[in-house]
Amino acid sequence: MLFQDGDRIVFAGDSVTDMDSAQPIGEGLFENVGRSYVRVIENMLAAVYPELKIRVTNAGTSGNTSRDLLARFDRDVCELHPDWVSICIGINDVWRQFDSPAMPDVCVMPDEYEQNLRKMLEKVVGKTKGVFLISPYYIEPNREDKMRARMDEYVEICRKLAQEYNCVFVDFQKLYEEYCQVRHSSVIAWDRVHPNQMGATLMALQFLSQCGFEFDHFKKVP
């Protein structure tokens, strides 16, 4: 597995990362880490790899665009000296274009989105053990839906930058597209964005699948 004893993973993002975590960062006892995929990842790491002490930090903030995350990136990510960084941002960059079309100043268009991500990546790539770049998503299998089509543009920006900066790319959009071939999006999220615990579990499994995570590892622990 990628993670080693003593590693710290900082998860940066918006509401789908935040999910009621403590602010500005959440970690440690009780519900400080929130109830998103970050919590499920922490649960799985502690349950299956009990010999490893891995510090999981939730640096998600509800409502953030990539512009907002970039503005606080030094404080909430870099200054924590993480071993690993996960960046999942972009949903609000797209969503504001549809729910607030009369407010262009709050929208983050593709060119700015790419530049914001580049600036974040340049702060942590080469200074950490590794970076996960996670795609934004819209839980809508119809690619002709206007918001889904727009979201796909941002997913491709993430994919391109992950390859360019040698990041681990985690494709949440593909995950939900495949899931929606079997079950309707309402099973996960009525607004097609904010996942329930089933969605959080799916996202955690998708993340861990890129980490060399072995579900039967606990049986091998002496």
d(CA 16, CA 39) in angstroms, rounded, equals 11
Which is catalytic among the residues 20, 62, 194, 217? 194
Which is catalytic among the residues 15, 36, 135, 185? 15
Which is catalytic among the residues 74, 99, 145, 191? 191
3-class state of residue 148 by DSSP: helix
Query: Which among 78, 15, 37 is positioned nearest to 211, based on CA atoms?
Result: 37
Establish whether 99 is a catalytic residue.
no
Establish whether 15 is a catalytic residue.
yes
Q: In sequence order, which residues have a C-beta less than 8 Å from that of residue 176 and are 6 or more positions away?
A: 137, 139, 141, 185, 188, 202
Residues known to be catalytic: 15, 191, 194
